Amino acid sequence: MKKPFVFGMVLMTLLALAIPVSAEYKATMKLATATAPDHPYNVGAQKFIDLIQERTNGRIQIKLYPALQLGKGEREMLEGVQQGAIDLLVTSTGPLGGFSPSINILDFPFLFRDFDHVDLVLDGPIGRKLLDDFEKANVKGLAFWENGFRHLTNSKGPVKTVADGQGLKIRTMENKVHLSAWKAAGFNPTPMAWGEVFTAMQQGVINGQENPIAVYYATKLWDAKQKYLSLTAHVYSPAPILMSKKVFDGMPPEDQALFSRTALEVAKFQRKINRDAEESRLQEVAGRGTTVVRDVDRESFRKAMAPVFDQFSGQFPKADIEAIMNAK
Ligand code: PAF
């Protein structure tokens, strides 16, 4: 009787000693984004990094890698997160459906009325569930930051109504809901990783793209012939901050709580700086020669893109979509 008892005590002591030094725990982490350094993803990321460093008295260091330094596109960087080669990633939802299909529900056109509606849904139970769903893909969803409402840009001429853009060759994200919506609207869309888009537009392989004002501004898309910016606001683009589950699970509970809490806290800051800067950026680019089309007939885009709701109804039940649309 004595021997198993002694063995048990030794085992328990060894386990207790082992817990704080988990093999997965890293004190220096990599945070990646696809966007240019002064895009709001990176302003939010720097704030997150500073807070984590301050709150751990420098015990945890995080280095920021913006502008696709760690991968050709967001899909590739997410694979890096799954494998634990990249610890943290702020990304659009563009390629995320291939990893966690439920997230694509946010990609439907004209789903959100305005920023208040966005905050209500993303900060509520629907948003939490979508973040938690990433666990099945070995990814920890920490919080929703944002890219913003997406707008159409092109090199050919002002687009006011959906009829003005018929046949226009545009790049979409690698996202089947977006691709179908633009096809339904009569455009000629091609999915492409972000790293290839600037050159494709310079060379005239495509005539346009769609992204929020912050991306247009930070990437200086007017230098890639994108002289026309139409405020279509056809879809809202959230930007989850995701973490390698392997790395997250390897951290002690107090650090896990710190990361989760800080990511949510920074979400408020990051969304605010993004929204606050939009109007001044529009005025600045207009001053530089961009034609900003403000009086877009959004209803014409909404109607033309509406068939996607039926097209994907097998994957995203109408009731779930309506729960988002009717949230008040
Ligand atoms: O268009 C995209 O792919 C995304 O919006 C971008 C620019 C990579 C930011 O997440």
Q: Which residue type, as a one-letter code, is found at position 323? A: A
* Ligand 1 atom closest to 219 (CA): 7
Q: Rounded CA gap, 75 and 32, in Å?
A: 12
Residue 84 in 3-state DSSP? coil
Tell me the per-residue pLDDT of 258-269, one tens digit each, with 9 for 90 and over: 999 999 999 999
Q: Which residues contact 150 (CB under 8 A, 6 or more apart)?
A: 210, 211, 212, 232, 233, 234, 235, 236, 237
Tell me, in angstroms, the distance from the centre of ligand 1 to residue 230's CA.
17
Contact present, 189 and 175 (Cβ < 8 Å): no
Q: Is the pLDDT of residue 149 over 50?
A: yes
* Ligand 1 atom closest to 34 (CA): 8
Q: Rounded CA gap, 75 and 8, in Å?
A: 47
Angle, alpha carbons 184-186-189 (nearest 5°)? 85
Tell me, in angstroms, the distance from the centre of ligand 1 to residue 8's CA.
54
The residue to mutate among 74, 75, 78, 146, having the most atoms of ligand 1 within 8 angstroms of its beta carbon, is 74
145: Cβ below 6 Å to ligand 1?
no
Tell me the per-residue pLDDT of 98-129, one tens digit each, with 9 for 90 and over: 999 999 999 999 999 999 999 999 999 999 99
Measured by CA distance, the residue closest to atom 10 of ligand 1 is 92
Measured by CA distance, the residue closest to atom 3 of ligand 1 is 194
Tell me, in angstroms, the distance from the centre of ligand 1 to residue 33's CA.
9
- pLDDT, position 12: 46
173: Cβ below 6 Å to ligand 1?
yes
Integer CA distances (angstroms), 31 to 66, 158, 247, 255, in order: 8, 38, 12, 16
- pLDDT, position 176: 96
Nearest alpha carbon to residue 227 among 284, 151, 157: 157
Q: Is the pLDDT of residue 197 over 70?
A: yes
Q: Rounded CA gap, 188 and 89, in Å?
A: 30
- pLDDT, position 21: 42
Q: Is the pLDDT of residue 22 over 70?
A: no
Residue 192's CB is within 10 A of a number of other CB atoms, namely 18
Read off the tokens for 80.
Answer: 């890096």
Residue 288's CB is within 10 A of a number of other CB atoms, namely 10
* Ligand 1 atom closest to 92 (CA): 10
194: Cβ below 6 Å to ligand 1?
yes
Query: What does the DSSP assignment read for 183-252?
Result: HHTT-EEEE--GGGHHHHHHTTS-SEEEE-HHHHHHTTGGGGT--EEEEEEEEEEEEEEEEEHHHHHTS-
CATH class of 151-235+279-325: alpha beta
Q: Which residue type, as a one-letter code, is found at position 278? A: E
Which band of pLDDT confidence, cut at 50, 70 and 90, is reported for residue 25?
A: low
For the domain covering 2-147+237-277, report its CATH number: 3.40.190.170
Write down the domain spans for the chain: 2-147+237-277, 151-235+279-325
- pLDDT, position 27: 76
Q: Which residue has the tokens 């301050």?
A: 54
Length of the chain: 328
Query: What does the DSSP assignment read for 139-155?
Result: EEEEEEEEEEEEEEEES
Region 186-198: mean pLDDT is 97
Residue 47's CB is within 10 A of a number of other CB atoms, namely 16
The whole-chain average pLDDT of the chain stands at: 93
Tell me, in angstroms, the distance from the centre of ligand 1 to residue 147's CA.
8
Which band of pLDDT confidence, cut at 50, 70 and 90, is reported for residue 317?
A: confident
Q: Which of 17-31, 155-169, 181-195 has the lowest mean pLDDT?
A: 17-31
Nearest alpha carbon to residue 180 among 231, 131, 235, 229: 235
Contact present, 22 and 67 (Cβ < 8 Å): no
215: Cβ below 6 Å to ligand 1?
yes
209: Cβ below 6 Å to ligand 1?
no
- pLDDT, position 20: 43
Tell me the per-residue pLDDT of 268-314, one tens digit each, with 9 for 90 and over: 999 999 999 999 999 999 999 999 999 999 999 999 999 999 999 99
* Ligand 1 atom closest to 210 (CA): 1
Q: Is the pLDDT of residue 224 over 60?
A: yes
Q: Rounded CA gap, 180 and 142, in Å?
A: 29
pTM for this entry: 0.92
92: Cβ below 6 Å to ligand 1?
yes
Contact present, 244 and 41 (Cβ < 8 Å): no
CA dihedral of residues 168, 174, 180, 185 (deg, nearest 10): -20
Q: When comparing pLDDT for 12 and 211, which is higher?
A: 211
Please determine whether the domains at 2-147+237-277 and 151-235+279-325 fall in the same fold group of CATH.
yes
The residue to mutate among 33, 75, 147, 178, having the most atoms of ligand 1 within 8 angstroms of its beta carbon, is 147
Q: Which residues contact 17 (CB under 8 A, 6 or more apart)?
A: none
